[in-house]
Homo-oligomer: A and B are copies of this chain.
Amino acid sequence: MTDPASSRPPIDPKAIRVPTGLRDLYPADLNRLRFIQDAWRTTSINFGFDEIDGPTFEDADLYAVKSGQGILNEVFGVFSGKDPKERASLAAGGDAPYALRPEFTPTLARMYAAKAGALPKPTKWFWTQNCFRAERPQRGRLREFYQWNCDIIGDHPPFADAEAIATCIALLQSLGLTSQDVRVKIGDRGVVEQLLMTAGCDYYRVADGVRFVDGRSKLSPAEQARIANELEIDLTAYDEFVAAASKLTPALLGSGNEGQMSVDIHQSGISASVENEVFYTLLKLLGEAGVADWCDIDFSIARGLAYYTGMVFEVHEASGAERAIAGGGRYDGLIELFGGPPTPAVGFGMGDVVLSLVLQDRGLMPSDEVISERLGQRPDVFVISNGTPEADAKIEPVLAACRKATPSAPGLHARRSYKTTKNVGKLLQDASKAAARCALIIESGTAGQLKNLDTQVQRPVLLAGVERAVRAELLAARSAHNAAGQ
């Protein structure tokens, strides 16, 4: 009965804090997250996506397959404290057998590959859970955060690409953001390859060129010049092509040549002609979906191109002040990489942290009260006693009757005050503060008054079957509200 580890120094519980970059979510904090998750879920379902989830940690190899062993230095390792082999391997300087998911895509690819034959074409999946990154926390970047993923697997470009982008924009729109607040920057790996080649890039090293463009912002100007020279890229010409192409808009393209995107760029004495029918059709589809005014063409968007194969996009706050709100693209090789059949796929991810900052900055995060109502948290009835012993004794039985779920109806949200006061006026104030729809003031062992707190209309009720009176009152109020909204 003695603790074998009692020789360790005692722990001071007051010194234990929430781990760096992770969050304590008290009710109002969690409600703001639930509000965002609710919007994610509603948009996903409206666009015909089905929700999935996978394990919170995976075999570390799953992430190494996609990103190389180096990824294991960027994630949180996980091991069983009970497993002597796993402990021994760590003591020998090895990696942990598992890793907390830094993203969901490898799990999605593994899950799709495992059941590819049995899944519909296309398969449209969404996901709204948490990810973990072993990074230094910064504004817009935490070590644990929530992410929304939407993926369309088994459908070819550009139809699915347009659907993915439209889904992402619909979410932003449903939260009150406009095309003035945020911009969707759309690029394409194929077009970047064409621009690179026109700028002189060695034909056999275009893949290296794309990787160079992707990681370029992290390199010094001297280093950039060195690699560009090695790959025979005329960097000045390349940058001018990108700048010129980025000035194009979907609307401009739509009025040009039908059926293909053909843009002639004359800069620095070199002329680049970008032809890409798929990209052109994508822009046309975005117009049909009514979202072309949210989109800019931007061939500097490169998002880890080892993984993306066609269209890539990023959503940014218009001023460019914050990190990307969302990003995604086409990844036609990934399902195969994870052991599945060759399968085209496109998807995107959106985190909760930057999105929340943008909503707050723009005054679009609703108040606690509005979120609480939106999430269905308003009490249906607040039960009050008039202070007599017969009435006091009825509070609990009435609460129980109201909260009881029946096969035909869920229980009601019924609250009471925990204060000792018997002042009915003060208790009614409590009911209003809790945003209750009705108050039931018990006046005897058998009867009371049911007061609609939205209309202030009050009427006598019997306590027997009072839950039915409350339901009828709420239904009448809802019908009146619907009629007014018609």
Which residues in A have some Cβ–Cβ distance to B below 8 Å? 1, 3-6, 8, 11-14, 16-19, 22-27, 30-31, 33-34, 42-43, 45-48, 50-59, 61-62, 64-65, 68-70, 72-83, 87, 90-93, 95-96, 98-100, 107, 110-111, 113-115, 120-122, 125, 130, 132, 134-135, 144, 155, 166, 170, 173-174, 176, 208, 211, 285, 288-291, 337-339, 376-377, 379, 393, 396-397, 399-401, 403-405, 407-408, 410-416, 418, 472, 475, 479, 482, 485-486
Contacts and interface: CB of A to CB of B under 8 A. Distances in A.
A138 to B, nearest CB: 14
Nearest to A18: B55
Nearest to A17: B59
A271 to B, nearest CB: 31
A213 B479 CA distance: 58
Contacts of A73: 81-82
Contacts of A82: 73-74, 134-135
14 contacts: A6-B69, A8-B69, A16-B59, A24-B111, A48-B415, A56-B56, A74-B81, A74-B82, A77-B78, A81-B134, A121-B418, A288-B396, A288-B400, A291-B400
A290 B406 CA distance: 14
A70 to B, nearest CB: 6
Nearest to A55: B22
A16 B45 CA distance: 30
Looking at A6, A114, A408, the one whose CB has the most chain B CB atoms below 10 A away is A114
A61 B16 contact: yes
Nearest to A485: B408
Given A42-B410, A78-B77, A81-B75, A403 B65 contact: no
A68 B5 contact: yes
A245 to B, nearest CB: 26
A25 B92 CA distance: 35
A100 B166 CA distance: 37
| 6 nearest A-B pairs in the assembled complex, by CB-CB distance | A5-B69, A22-B55, A174-B405, A14-B339, A27-B50, A80-B134
Given A18-B55, A91-B90, A45 B410 contact: no
A197 to B, nearest CB: 19
Contacts of A418: 120-122, 155
Contacts of A90: 90-91
A177 to B, nearest CB: 11
Given A22-B56, A31-B51, A475 B486 contact: yes
A52 B79 contact: no
B396 A289 contact: yes
Contact of A397 (B121, B288, B403): B288
